[in-house]
Each structure stands twice: as structure tokens, then as C-alpha cells.
A and B are shown apart, each in its own frame.
Chain A
Amino acid sequence: MTENNSDYLVRFENVQKSYDGELLVVKDLNLNMAKGEFLTMLGPSGSGKTTCLMMLAGFEPATHGEIYLDNVPINRVPPHKRGIGMVFQSYALFPHMTIGENLAFPLEVRKMGKSERDKKVKIALDMVQLGAFADRRPSQLSGGQQQRVAVARSLVFDPDVVLMDEPLGALDKNLREQMQYEIKHIHERLGVTVLYVTHDQSEALTMSDRVAVFDAGIIQQLAPPDVLYEKPENAFVADFIGDNNCLIGIVTEESENSCVVQTPDGSNIKANKVNIAGKGQKSTLSIRPERVIINPEVGQVPNIFKAKALELIYLGDHIRTRMQVCGNDEFYVKIPNTSHIADLNEGDEVSIGWNEYDCRALDAP
């Protein structure tokens, strides 16, 4: 290892996991988390992200490799000695205890005195604005309140790391967004290290310092949210994060930073060379819908093509337009709802264009 790994709080080293001995759910995972970081594992269901979380929490043993917590290998440490807080999607509040007893539970098993316990419980409940609810049962609280209690309970015993397994999955959209900010603020205030698992990309982008995009047991890309969106490394990440247009073609020219890709209908597209196999190989071009320019002036951008508007979807602040371009009729363009350009009808032919830099040539599926 070249870098100094001992600075990291959590380290996965060559971790592999298989449940049945035939299929690897997690394939050779290497991941480092700095102290105080908010890292999100994002991926479709079955991509192995929850398994990683469970291995770190100690509920699933790693089939191969080692996990380090504060430079201590923890593969053989039982869950209750790891000192990791956890928030579950189902909240997992103990139904037979009051909210106060739920929060006191981790302190009680640590043999903390009653007065100190009560004090910490009160601080934790106040942190999530539920100070008045200590004597209620979980079933008397709404979903959002229960989730707040679950967050407070995972933090009340001052763990180094808190794991959150799709904690907002069961909440409705408005509440989910509100809770995202709340969790984010708690993280900022306490400086606790958070490993967050979700399949919701907007959640991941809103909250995280870094996002690890999972697919098929492999981290496809690990980067801060803006880099993930602006500079996806491969076709999966480009497609998974945000809206994306894919054009598939063959690389015909290749230079140091750019390349030309020819689509099946013969259009030559100048693209930013990111991750291609080489000349004569297939490549996926990724263009964000909002980077497409309608009616560009000649010479304004290197890529200008004729396009036909097939469908217009009015979305308030913008109009989502499905277009046929370069032989692909699933090409979406986001047209901002500013009067002068929004004047487009179905069936109209327009010219559209984009910058070479905004069009990333990635691996082929």
C-alpha cells in the first residue's frame, strides 16, 4: 500500500462476500472512510451495498478480506463490541419500551448510571426535537417521529460510526426531504462518521461528502456528488446518476483528450475521451439533457445535428422534450421554460448541439 491507510476510521480491504458459495455478492471491495465523513453507498437493490453495511455492523461475516475500524481488524469482533450505531429502514424501535427507555437501552447495557443516562437521553431527544415524547410508545408516534427517535437512539451512546440502512425509505417524499436535511445537520453538528445506504440518488447527492456507486458487487465510482454527476467514469454511473442521454457508436478517431464516435446512422460526434477501449471499439456517449443547446449558432459548438421533437412534457420550470437525433429517438432535452425558446411544437425540426466537453465517451455496455 502506497498511501497511509492508518488515517482512516473505517477500511474495507479486499473484502468479498458470498452467501451460497457460488455467487459473489461483494467482489473485492476496497473502501476507506475518513473520520467525520458522510459516505453513501448508492446502488440498485441487490448491488451488495446493504451486505457491506451488515459486514461492518457485524451481522454478516466477510467471506474474504478484512475490515478495520480505527485500525483494529474487526472480523472476529462481535457486533455488540464494535460500538457502531445503526438506523434501520424499519426504525426497529422496541415496541414494548417507551421512547425514553428505547434511548436509555444502549446506555443501560453500558452500565451507565441513572442520572447520567437521563441527561444523555434528554439531550439526544432534544436534538431531534422530540423532548416531550419520552414517555410515549413508538406506536403512538408518526413515521417521521419514529425515524427521528431511531436516529437519536443510534447516536445517544456516542458511537464513532453510525450506519444508516435506507432510513428514509418508508417516509413520504416531503418528509424524506426534510429528514435528509435534518440528518445532514446532525452530522455536521456532531462530526460523527456516517455510512449511509440508499437506492435514491437524490438522497445520496443531497447528503453525502462522497458517494460510492455500487453495481453487481463492485464500486463503480467513488467520488463527491458533483464529480459523480459531472464526470461519471462509466456508462452505469452516467445512467444511474441523474438524467442522461446515451448514444452508442464506434470510435473512429482518437486523440489525447478527445475522440470521434460514429453512431449507426453515420453521424460523427466529437466527444470527451474518458473511458474507451480504443479505435474501432464500441463506446457509449453520455450527454446530460440540460447541456444540449437548442438552435445553436454555427460554430458555437462542435456538435450540431438536426433533430425532430417527438414529445413535449410540460414540467413547470422546464419542458422535457423527447427528440429524434443521430438515429436515436429516446434523446431527451431539457428546455428551460423561458418564453423565447419554449416555443416548440411536436413534430418541429430544429437543430441541436452540444460541447465536446459535455459529451463523455464511456465504456460500452
Chain B
Amino acid sequence: MASNTEALKTADGISLKVSLQRSLRRKKRNALLLVAPLFLFILVTFLFPIFDMLIRGVDNKITQEILPTTVVALAKWDPASGQLPDEDIFKAFTVDGQVAAKAKTISRLGKRLNYEKSGFSSLFRKTGRQLKKFDPEKMTTSYKENLISIDKKWGKVETGSLIHRESGRYTKSYYLTAFDLTQNSEGNIEWKDADSSIYIDLFKRTLWLSCLITFLTILFGYPIAYLLATLKAKTSNLLMILVLLPFWTSLLVRTSAWIALLQKEGVINDTLVAIGIIGDESRLSMIHNSTGTLIAMTHILLPFMILPLFSVMKTINPSYVRAARSMGATGFTAFRRVYFPNTIAGIGAGGILVFILSIGFYITPALVGGVDGTMISNFIAYHISTSLNWGLAAALGAILLSLVLVLYILYDKLVGIDNMKLG
């Protein structure tokens, strides 16, 4: 008999481990082939865009591309000295600017730097126009004075220091903006003025609304899920269809229905006026503000809370509560001490699902949110499609992503992701 420490062998003397691996190889290859199409699809349409977005949030190669020699020359200059850059730097800028003006790319850089300080867009457009006509052979003054004569801003240290600051391959400015921070001319980071800071408030509001929506879905969803889990199969199936019904109608339709219901001339206001509870002049404004967002999103996200709760409650043996009651617990104590703790996994799963969905919700706040009901995702969409500041959109998106990840990790630490049951 071979001892246990000796490597086991098959009948033909091949090591058992090798043999096992061989026999499993085919299985593994098949599994890989089955996953491959979806994996490729996700790689191309999901992971790669996310990676690209993360890059965009810090990417700043535009300055180096448009002003290649200026960037090299600027590296030697110290903006803290308070002195204007040397003549050769102005010369490098004039040469780069002429090339860029002819290629019509100089205004793109202007637009990029305008994110940092307003006025740069027009400065670069103006300078570009002049540089196109500029002929160094006919120049009577220095490059420095020539540029200053085009626009007085070229004679200021701040102009140079901003280009100097933003001449790197990467920038932190998008992230600073996303946190309502700014860099002053000395390069120190400071808070923006209260009237121009919007994103922190927006993040706060998004988080607050999401928390509120999550709480409301728990409040409304818990009793329904309990009913679903405890009713007879026939009745509970019917109720389940009612819960699932919203999934079969378009999100847009559901949101529009809320507009019809909640608006000033809508069903609810009309009814209240007709009954005489409120006067015609004091109609409630329940839409195009955060109330509208709250109502519509709670309704839309409710099934995502009910389903995980239901699936957890379905597994809770009804004899738990009976046992607790027989041991002397009142109905409420039995619920609090025995039933409720067993549903926490469902609350956690539903809560994290609803929270993550609502933190990035877009259509509903856009339609019913008005001004104070919009969320961060609406601003991301705005920067992507309207203001075309993709860098800022990317930074905001990345912050949102990391926020969700942090919450996910927190949840894992507190409740344990293994306890999550989604169905």
C-alpha cells in the first residue's frame, strides 16, 4: 500500500493531479467558450468606456498637442517669480499659435482653458485671428510686445501661469471643479464662491434624495412584500402581477403619467379643488421640484424593493413567529425580535439596489425634477451633450462610481454581501 504522502497515480502511472487536470481541461474550455461572447460584449461596451471615462477625467494632452514648443519652453519659467516669461517663450507661442490658427485648432485650446478661467476662449480666438495674418519678417517689435499689442492679457503673469499649470499631460482641474474647488493664480486650491459652487450641493441633494427614496420604498414595500409572502398562492400571484405591471410599461410613460397626475392643472390638484380642500389659487406644486422627483422615483423603484424583500420573506418559516408567540412574545415582540431580523438581508439587498439605481437615475428627475429636483446624473448628461465638457462629465461620473463602490464596500462590511438575496 502506498502511503498517503506519496503522490497518487492512475493505473497507467500518470500523476493523479495531471490526469485530473487533463480531464477537466475540456470542461473549462467549454465554460470559457460559453462566457466569451458576453465577456467580449461587456469589455467593449462597458469596461472599456468606463476606463476611457476615467482617463478623460484627468486627460489634458490638448495643450501639448496644440502648443508643443511653448510647453517645452514654459517648463523653464517659474510663475512664482512674478516676472513675465522670456522672449523666447513668447516666440515659441507665436510659432505654435500660427500653426494652430491655420489648422483652426487654437480655439479648441481656448475653450479648454476657458473652463479654468473665463475670457480665455475669446482671448484665443482673437489671438488666433491676428496670428494668422502675422508675418514675423515684418515684425518691428519683440514677440512679447506683439502679443501684448494683440491683447493686454498677454502682459499679465496669470495668463502665462495658467497655461503653465495646464501644460501637463494630466490635470486635476476637472476633479477640482467637480468638488467646487478652484486653483488661484498662485496655484493654491481653494473653495469656489458660494454662488458659483453647485456640485457639492448637487451631490448632497442626490444622496439625500436617494436615501429618502430608499427609505420610502422600504416603508411602502415592506408591508406589501409581507402580504405577498403570507397570502395564499392564488391571491399572492394576482398581487404579484400588480407589482410587476410597471415593468411592462415604459419608464417614460410612467413618468409622464405622474406629470399628468401631479401638475398644477393635474388630476390631484383638480380633485382637491373640486372637493374644496384647497382653493383654486393655492394649487399645490408637486411637480418640477424635488417632491415630484421623490414621488415619481419612489413609485418607479418600488418593485426593486418589493422583489428582494419578498424572496427573503418567502423563505422565513411561519413557525418562527408561532414559536415566538407560544413562548410568550406579543405579536409586536415576535415581529421585532424574530421576523424582522430575518428580513434584514432583504432590506439590505433591496436598499442597496434602490439606492444605487436612484443615485444614477436620469430620465425621471429630468422630466419631473424641475430645478431643485435634478440630480447629479442630469448634470453629467448636460456636460456630455450640451456644454461638451466631457472632462468634467467624466470626473463627476467617476466620483459617482466611487461613491457607489464605497457604499457597496460599506454594505459588505456591515451586512455582508453574501447575505444579499435578490431572488
Partner of B330, one of A58, A80, A85, A90: A80
9 A-B pairs within 8 Å (CB atoms) are namely A58-B326, A79-B325, A83-B328, A88-B323, A90-B319, A94-B323, A94-B342, A105-B324, A105-B337
A168 to chain B, nearest CB (A): 15
B325-345 contacts to A, CB under 8 A, are 325-331, 333-334, 337-338, 341-342
A110 contacts B328, CB within 8 Å?
A: yes
Identity of the chain A residue whose Cβ is nearest the Cβ of B320 in the assembled complex: A92
Residue numbers in A under 8 Å from B327 (CB-CB): 80, 85-86, 105-106, 109, 153-154, 157
For the complex of A and B, the 3 pairs showing the least CB-CB separation, nearest first, are A106-B327, A92-B323, A92-B319
B295 to chain A, nearest CB (A): 35
Residue numbers in B under 8 Å from A113 (CB-CB): none
B322 contacts A92, CB within 8 Å?
A: yes
A92 contacts B317, CB within 8 Å?
A: yes
Residue numbers in B under 8 Å from A88 (CB-CB): 319, 322-323
B333 to chain A, nearest CB (A): 6
Residue among B323, B326, B331, B333 with max Cβ neighbours from chain A (10 Å) = B326
B319 contacts A105, CB within 8 Å?
A: no
A109 contacts B322, CB within 8 Å?
A: no
B322 contacts A86, CB within 8 Å?
A: yes
Residue numbers in A under 8 Å from B330 (CB-CB): 78, 80, 109
Partner of A94, one of B325, B326, B338: B338
Give how many B residues have a beta carbon under 8 Å from the other chain's beta carbons.
19
Residue among A58, A80, A106, A163 with max Cβ neighbours from chain B (10 Å) = A80
B105 to chain A, nearest CB (A): 65
Partner of A109, one of B317, B319, B329, B341: B329
Residue numbers in A under 8 Å from B341 (CB-CB): 94, 96
B326 contacts A79, CB within 8 Å?
A: yes
**Chain A residues close to B by CB (< 8 Å):** 57-59, 78-86, 88, 90, 92, 94-96, 105-106, 109-110, 153-154, 157, 163
B169-184 contacts to A, CB under 8 A, are none
Residue numbers in B under 8 Å from A78 (CB-CB): 325, 330-331
Residue among B322, B328, B329, B342 with max Cβ neighbours from chain A (10 Å) = B328
Identity of the chain B residue whose Cβ is nearest the Cβ of A86 in the assembled complex: B326
Residue numbers in B under 8 Å from A106 (CB-CB): 327-329
Residue numbers in B under 8 Å from A105 (CB-CB): 324, 327, 329, 337
A59 contacts B328, CB within 8 Å?
A: no
Cα distance, A79 to B334, chains bound together (Å): 11
Residue numbers in A under 8 Å from B317 (CB-CB): 90, 92
A175 to chain B, nearest CB (A): 20
Identity of the chain A residue whose Cβ is nearest the Cβ of B316 in the assembled complex: A95
Residue numbers in B under 8 Å from A58 (CB-CB): 325-326
Cα distance, A82 to B328, chains bound together (Å): 8
Partner of B328, one of A92, A95, A96, A157: A157
B323 contacts A86, CB within 8 Å?
A: yes
Residue numbers in B under 8 Å from A94 (CB-CB): 320, 323-324, 338, 341-342
A80 contacts B338, CB within 8 Å?
A: no
B74 to chain A, nearest CB (A): 65
16 further A-B pairs in the complex, CB-CB below 8 A; given A59-B325, A86-B322, A90-B319: A78-B325, A80-B329, A80-B331, A83-B328, A84-B326, A88-B319, A92-B319, A92-B320, A94-B320, A94-B323, A94-B324, A94-B342, A105-B337, A109-B330, A109-B337, A163-B326
B278 to chain A, nearest CB (A): 44
Hey, what's the 0/1 contact readout for B301-328 against A, CB within 8 Å counting as 1? 0000000000000000101101111111
Identity of the chain B residue whose Cβ is nearest the Cβ of A96 in the assembled complex: B341
Cα distance, A106 to B327, chains bound together (Å): 5
A50 to chain B, nearest CB (A): 12
B325 contacts A80, CB within 8 Å?
A: yes
Residue numbers in A under 8 Å from B331 (CB-CB): 78, 80
Partner of A80, one of B320, B326, B337, B342: B326
Cα distance, A163 to B327, chains bound together (Å): 12
B184-240 contacts to A, CB under 8 A, are none
A13 to chain B, nearest CB (A): 22
Residue numbers in B under 8 Å from A82 (CB-CB): 326
Cα distance, A83 to B338, chains bound together (Å): 18
Identity of the chain A residue whose Cβ is nearest the Cβ of B339 in the assembled complex: A94
